[in-house]
Structure 1
Amino acid sequence: MQKNILIVEDEDILREIVKDYLMDEGYNVLEAVDGNEALAIFEEKEIHLIILDIMLPELDGWSVCKRVRKTSNVPIIMLTARSDEDDTLLGFELGADDYVTKPYSPPILLARVKRLIQSRYAQDGKLPSEDHLMINGIHVHFPTRTVTVNEEQISLTYTEFEILAYLMQNQGVIITREQLIMKIWGYEFAGDDRTINSHIRNLRHKLGHKANSIVTVIRAGYKFEGTA
């Protein structure tokens, strides 16, 4: 099935360049030049990934991301001309899955799009050998990418799901922040430890009373503790 990607970018040249790269790879591309138009398209169409500029007229990318996350876990890649780390962290805290700073290489952006699409929607045998995992009352179902805590479903972003699944699959093993970065984003990731900390904080909040299943190991990383 052809995947629909929504590009939200008010710079015509940049939007057209990214559109051409995506279409050459077989993706169907929808376009928006401001935040309000983006939300209108998102509500009308089935969108599989959003490439979202932060500095937009009328409604900025942060606001769009926040509204989308109220109803959907669709993968979101945020674009910005600003390199401030606090801006990056804000994007992740609002639920973005990846973050690219302008100027960027379209092939690199395309690679990140393909990684998110393939991981989020893979149905070609790339799933774990076991299709579910249950530890400490937390149930991860890989084919549908759903998570329940004591039989109540919680809503996780793509990145939050990947972190939780990775920690649970390595129960009791200390996973460094560097290992998490390589697993989730790959070698080209430009963030730092604060990015991981932000995602872990969001994940613990959503796990509620099971938050203590994710243990911080000082100067080392994180590990998942619990009884299968």
Structure 2
Amino acid sequence: TGEVVWRLGGEKSDFDMGYGTRTDWQHDARLHPGGLITIFDNGGVQKDVQSRVIVVEIDEDDMRATLVGEYTHPDKILAATQGNAQVLPNGNVFVGWGSEPHFSEFSRDGELLFDASFPSQVESYRAFRFPWKGLPEDRPAVVAESGSGEEVTLYVSWNGATEVDTWQVLAGGDPGKLEPAGSAPRKGFETAVTLDTKEPYLAARAKDSSGRILGSSEAVKPAEPTASTGQTRS
């Protein structure tokens, strides 16, 4: 019917507000199982030292609100506007600090596990953490360098790809007819793979942990090292 069942906080609170449960200019109140509510408490800019996230347990029988959890930033961030809290599946709490360009993750017990920030002029109304997989539309990038004898090193990367587990090297006499010639596990942003081959064309193929092919680079010819430095990459 739209009738107000109860109010929490404010001048007309239906609950007896226990110690630490009152807020100022709050945002993102969310109800959770077990009668718990998370609230981003911005705090009063003129009177509070910092903003916080609180976890309040409400008892609808005794109409009492009790503070059962609190999350604050060690740098005492005070967000004048905006802000939110997300309870993650493992019980950790992810916090967006609104008008202050920070976002943080806390353990269930309040330990700061992760903290990052946008440029100083950026504000974030809400910040959330979710599983994400990146599969770029462009192809992997590869550079090949000749070494001593038949040795060739490939430097391969794929900006934005999150699921690459292994790089497979392809080699052949024709760029359209390449065969597997070696492989190496992905190591950070750029992976170097060294092998011996006489083939004039090389490419790299990205595979995930199950062996599924995610993408392949274009075929390239190995570049010869310069006489002065012995290197082709800067």
| Band the TM-score falls in, shorter-chain normalisation | under 0.3
Structure of larger gyration radius:
2
Higher strand share: 2
Q: TM-score, length-normalised on structure 1?
A: 0.24
Highest RCO, 1 vs 2 (Cα 8 Å, sep ≥ 6) = 1
Higher helix share: 1
